[in-house]
Each structure stands twice: as structure tokens, then as C-alpha cells.
Amino acid sequence: MSEKIALVTGASRGLGAAFAEALSPEYHVIAVARTTGALEELDDRIKAREGDATLAPMDITEDHAMQQLCAAIHERWGRVDLWVHTAIEAQQLMPTDHVALATKDWAKSLAVNVDATARLIAYVAPLLGETGTAAFFEDDHAGEKFFGAYGATKTAQLALARSWQAETASIGPRVKILAPRPLASAMRARFHPGESRGALVAPADEALRLLPELLAP
């Protein structure tokens, strides 16, 4: 049987890197992220598990790069069995009446969390076909004070995912929206700098907990 292909966007750290590692014994992992060094470290960990990966140091907001990536995947493998989308931009917390003033940060949040997600759905859907699976991740801060930018763009991302999920429920691909527990991640540390880390879950442990749900038919 031909090898299974997993595309992980946002694979350099946190939950994305943890899923890439966890999947690597059974899947050839295509790991996409901006940070080359972190991807190389991930590759070392995957090889230590006797897994195999293709590193794609790319920015998902660059439309042409994503088109080229998906075309290359089609040419080499003809499909993607699993797409795990963990890439996210976490704009710094601020009062909502400051969001529009942080022009570059707001534009980046929209570009990563909303625009890139919409384009990737369009480009990856044909690779998934009727039998593949796409996964997105809950992180609901909508309406919380100082989370205006992140809450709005993360909610928009999941609105795209939920609409796609409803549209493909009977025809495929499967679209899953998983709910991680609070993670001991760099992003959460930015949001909660004084928080005790003791009650948080390591991304590797959470990936293993969510893996059966991710892979269930």
C-alpha cells in the first residue's frame, strides 16, 4: 500500500510540531512553517522516531508559494490523506479601540488566520478528495476583554471550517474541529505571562490525546 501523506501547516512548534511527530511513524509528513531552524529540529525528532518528512519552509500567507506547494504535492503523491491546520497569528492583547491603530498587526492576523485559511481550503480540498480528513482547532476567546483581534480572526477561521464541514458532511472530505486543553505553549505564555504553567498540558501529550479523534473514521 502506498504511504499515507499528512500535511501539517504551522508545524514548527507547539501543537503543530507535536502532531507532526505523533503522525510520523505512520505518515509521511509535509511540514510547513516559516522558521527553517525549527523545522530542521522537527525533522531530527521525526527521524529519531524512524519517520520521514518533507520540510517546506514557507509563509502560508504567500499565495503563489501555497499554490506551488499544493501543485508539487499533487505531482509527487497525487493526494493528501490528512491536513492538520495549526498555523495561527496571535496579535498582542490590547483594548478593542486600539486594534485598528495597530495596522500591521491587524493586517497580519487577518492574513494568517482568515485569508490564508480560506485559500488553503481551496487548494488542499482537491488533494483530500472524498476520503481525506482536515482538522482545525478550537480556541474560543471571542468576547473576552483585550482579545478583540485574536478572538475575531480565530472565530472567522473556525466559521470557514464549520461551513466547509457542513458542506462536505455527506460527500467528503471529513472536516474535524478538535478542542485542545490549555497548552504550555509560547502563544499562551504571550496571552497569560504570569500564569502558572503547572496546570497546563504539554503539546506532545495533547497531540497524543487528540490523535484517536483525529484519525477516527
For residues 116 and 146, give the distance between their C-alpha atoms in angstroms, rounded to a whole number: 24
Four-residue CA torsion sign, 14, 81, 69, 119: negative
Q: Write the secondary structure of 44-93 as one string of H (helix), E (strand) and C (coil).
A: HHHHHCCCEEEEEECCCCCHHHHHHHHHHHHHHCCCCCEEEECCCCCCCC
Cβ–Cβ < 8 Å for 166, 158? no
Burial class (CB in 10 A: 0-12, 13-18, 19+), 212: exposed
Cβ–Cβ < 8 Å for 89, 113? yes
From first to last of the 217 residues of the chain, give the pLDDT tens digit. Answer: 469 999 999 999 999 999 999 999 999 999 999 999 999 999 999 999 999 999 999 999 999 999 999 999 999 999 999 999 999 998 888 999 999 888 999 999 999 999 999 999 999 999 999 999 999 999 988 888 999 999 999 999 999 999 999 999 999 999 999 999 988 888 887 787 777 787 899 999 999 999 999 999 9
3-state secondary structure of 94: strand
Residue 1 is predicted with a pLDDT of 41
Residue 2 is predicted with a pLDDT of 63
Hey, what amino acid is at 119?
A: R
Q: State the chain's maximal CA–CA distance in angstroms.
A: 56
Q: Please report the domains of the chain, with CATH numbers, ordered by start residue.
A: 4-208 (3.40.50.720)
3-state secondary structure of 198: helix
For residues 70 and 159, give the distance between their C-alpha atoms in angstroms, rounded to a whole number: 23
